[in-house]
Homo-oligomer: A and B are copies of this chain.
């Protein structure tokens, strides 16, 4: 096959580079071959070859995934799509972009900005993740409180199936009910039913004004309660995040800031629109119990506050090996969830940092352990993670809101959905990938 490909390698250093993602998944060995695709035709060639020979094929975007979705073990081929990075077309009048999968998320947003538009999904990893990876994980982001997740921005997909066929899913229009919604099936499926090689994405007009509201609280529970109160005002914030005191301390250490002095929890909200004066007043009024509230429409101030929030994960990762959890709960149970995450930390004797996309009930409890990457995890940390998953289900939620199942959450997802649905997942996987070569052992 390699004679049909322009850029491939079996060099150990190159293979090591693409063997894992940012999940800290245990070492699965290194793949046998990495192909950096130059065209859709090459993707088709690789898929056909993998199917014909029954070889595991792991598609890779930016490698920033947190669930082990792009981990490639011994015997597999890695298909690196980061080189397919053209923004093929921007259609400003339609608020649409047509892109290759390797486009870096932030690059698309920047290209849209030149036309007064923006690309809404903004995971913390915008600077390093790709659109293909965002689609395959249904990535969320800070602006998700108002604009939803990646799926809400996907209007059509070009997908290479396991047997090499190229199909187009979705009509590219805002509304379409022509047949089954296979497009949504591919979104969030971690590349297991097909390889995304093109996407038609929804852009939106950049709001005329964005106001940022920052508040400090004496505890994360109080901040969580305030977030629930904001949700009930009828104002739809574009961003609604909460960060606990421990995380503020970690950010301070990384960035030299002084956030933790101001409270044991931080709430960050944004409202955007034509004139947001009234909305800001409503949100401020809902922040009962805050020790300090500050609002600004100055883009520089907003950027600074958002940057602090975006540092949360890197700052925690700088303190030790981080197990990044990603549970979702009904929004009204946010404060309860926070309380019980703290109880899990206490019961298991682990250190758990917490920040959350409070606008949609998506919490990231981060268990930091004292263990080398790749080494076995302390039993207490595994116990804590299991308790967090059980908590999510007990609260009527999900064990993964946005990071995906990957290698790490298989067992818990099977428990969440139950054996019948798990069986359907596998049956549908077999329809799309009879040889089982696409990212085997992931997602379902």
Contacts and interface: CB of A to CB of B under 8 A. Distances in A.
A308 B126 CA distance: 46
Interface string A57-92: 000000000000000000000000000000000010
A54 interface: no
A258 interface: no
A172 B417 CA distance: 12
B425 A165 contact: no
Contacts of A140: 175
Interface stretch (A248-256, A270-278, A297-305, A371-379): A270-278
A231 B95 contact: yes
Interface stretch (A20-28, A30-38, A106-114, A395-403): A395-403
Interface in A391-431: 396-405, 409, 413, 416-418, 420-422, 424-425, 427-429, 431
A330 B232 contact: no
A52 interface: no
Interface stretch (A185-193, A309-317, A344-352): A185-193
Nearest to A233: B205
Interface string A300-339: 0000000000000000000000000000111111000000
Interface in A204-220: 205-208
A192 B168 CA distance: 22
A282 to B, nearest CB: 6
B332 A91 contact: yes
Given A138-B177, A417-B179, A443-B179, A398 B171 contact: yes
Given A173-B401, A331-B174, A179 B431 contact: no
A235 interface: yes
Given A91-B330, A274-B235, A177 B167 contact: no
B234 A274 contact: yes
A174 B425 CA distance: 21
A45 interface: no
Interface residues of A, number: 91
Contact of A428 (B91, B362, B431): B431
A140 B177 CA distance: 10
Nearest to A139: B177
Contacts of A174: 328, 331, 360-362
Nearest to A159: B421
A241 interface: no
Contacts of A152: 148, 152
Nearest to A359: B174
Q: Which residue of A175, A185, A208, A333 has the most chain B CB atoms within 10 A of its CB atom? A: A175
Given A169-B421, A277-B275, A330-B172, A93 B177 contact: no
Contacts of A425: 179-180, 182
Contact of A165 (B172, B401, B420): B420
Nearest to A193: B180
Contact of A424 (B413, B416, B432): B432
A116 B233 CA distance: 10
Nearest to A416: B178
16 contacts: A95-B231, A149-B175, A165-B420, A169-B421, A173-B398, A177-B401, A178-B400, A181-B185, A181-B187, A182-B421, A182-B425, A205-B233, A234-B274, A274-B282, A424-B431, A428-B428
Minimum-distance CB pairs A-B, first 6 = A275-B278, A205-B234, A184-B184, A93-B332, A171-B398, A174-B360
Given A151-B181, A175-B398, 10 more contacts: A93-B331, A138-B181, A140-B175, A173-B330, A173-B360, A174-B328, A178-B399, A178-B409, A178-B416, A181-B185
